[in-house]
Amino acid sequence: MSAPQDSSNVEPKEVSSFERWRQRAAWVTGLGLSPEDQKKREEFNLLKGMESDWKRCEKWKTELLHNSPAVVFMMKQLQLIDCNVTAEHLQCHPCHKVSAGGFSPQHGILLCQDGFFNKKHMEDTVVHELIHMYDHAKFKADMTNIKHQACSEACVRMRAVASLVQNPACPGQAAAEKAVDEVWDSCIKDTRPFDE
C-alpha cells in the first residue's frame, strides 16, 4: 500500500484538471470569482437569457402565425387590403420588460421577447399590433397623432389611455384621456376588419 501524496508531489496535469473543475464550479455558483470574472459571468448569463427569450419568441411567433385563428384572420385581412405582411414584419427583440410589443409603420411589429407572461399574452399582443397595422394600412392612421392612436386603441378605453400615455407624442395622462374621449363614439363603432 502506498502512502498518500501531499499536494507538492501532485503532477501539473492533475492540478490543471482540479483547477478546471474548481473554475467550473465557481462559474456555476458564482462563488470565489474575481470581480472581473463575476462581471463576465453576469454578461454571459444575460446573453444566454436573451438568446433563450429570442428562441421562445420566434417559436411562439411561428406557431401563432400558423395555428392561432385570430392571428391567421388578421393576416388574411391585411392581405385583402394589399398589405402583404410576412413573419419578417414581426420582430422579436429585448425590451427590458417595459411592454409586450408595438407597431411602427417604418419597422413593422416589435415583439418584446422578454415581455410575455405566456403564449396567450403574446397572441393577444400580436393581434393588437396587427390591428394597428390594419388601421394604418386601411385608414392611413398616423400613430404619432394621439387621436389616431386613440381610435385604433378604442377596443378598451382604459387600455387605450394606458397605451397613449406611453406614446412619446402624448404630453400626459390628461391629454390621453381627452384624446380617447374625443374619438370614442366614432371609433368604438368601427369594428373592421372583424365585421367585414
Q: Which of 36, 51, 129, 196 is catalytic?
A: 129
Neighbours of 4 (CB within 10 A): 5
Helices (H), strands (E): how many in the chain? Answer: 7, 3
Question: Cell digits for 33?
Answer: 470569482
Q: Which helix (H) or strand (E) holds 111?
A: strand 108-112
Buried b (16+ CB within 10 A) or exposed e, 128-147: bbbbbbbbbbbeebebeebb
> Do the Cβ atoms of 81 and 137 come closer than 8 Å?
yes
Answer yes or no: 51 catalytic.
no
Amino acid at 5: Q
Which residues are designated catalytic? 129
